[in-house]
């Protein structure tokens, strides 16, 4: 008897474990239930490969269960980097991203996505791309890029200093 390979995505309910019996193995009107097979998946719910093994308690059959593989694959997730703006000469603001509700599995938080955001090099007035990468073990993350705009500085009148007391007529 051969246990069947299974695949599911991280966070999905695990699929029922099944097995295949070759034609001609069972006697008379016996069905698969006569083999009294119990299948189990190796412990683990994160991305990876887990062994499926089986045992039999059949009184009428000497059963060997060929093991199989249960693969849990990464969950595809798309997040959006947030647009940012700062004024020329000011400190750059923190880069952030938005995760829609219901995207993360169980008690996972944003740190499970393993996202690193970077701003294109440049500190002068202009627009710069914000991009991101992920090193998540359980999520296949796509980061939608955003824009970082550095705007012109407008000096306030209070920033300007005039010293009218030192004006001197030079005759010209």
What is the pLDDT tens value at each position of the chain, 172 positions in all?
Answer: 999 999 999 999 999 999 999 998 999 999 999 999 999 999 999 999 999 999 999 999 999 999 999 999 999 999 999 999 999 999 999 999 999 999 999 999 999 999 999 999 999 999 999 999 999 999 999 999 999 999 999 877 666 666 666 666 666 6
Q: What is the pTM assigned to this prediction?
A: 0.81
Q: Three-class SS of residue 88?
A: coil
Asked if 75 contacts 140 with a C-beta cutoff of 8 angstroms, the reply is yes
Residues whose CB is less than 8 angstroms from the CB of residue 132 and which lie 6 or more positions away in sequence, other chains included: 79, 81, 97, 115, 116, 117, 118, 141, 143, 145
Tokens representing 31 are 């069905």
């Amino acid at each position: 008897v051969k246990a069947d390979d299974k695949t599911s995505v991280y966070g999905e309910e695990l699929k029922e474990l099944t097995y295949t019996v070759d034609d001609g193995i069972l006697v008379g009107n016996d069905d698969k239930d006569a083999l009294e097979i119990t299948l189990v998946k190796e412990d683990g719910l994160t991305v990876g490969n887990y062994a499926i093994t089986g045992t039999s308690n059949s009184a009428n059959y000497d059963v060997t269960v060929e093991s199989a593989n249960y693969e849990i694959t990464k969950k595809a997730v798309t997040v959006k980097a947030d647009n940012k703006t700062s004024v020329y000469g000011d400190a750059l603001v923190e880069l952030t991203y938005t995760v829609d509700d219901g995207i993360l599995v169980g008690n996972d938080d944003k740190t499970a996505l393993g996202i690193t955001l970077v701003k294109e090099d440049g500190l002068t007035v202009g627009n710069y791309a914000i991009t991101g990468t992920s090193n998540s073990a359980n999520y296949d993350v796509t980061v939608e890029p955003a824009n970082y705009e550095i705007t012109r500085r407008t000096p306030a009148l209070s920033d300007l200093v005039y010293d009218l007391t030192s004006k001197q007529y030079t005759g010209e």
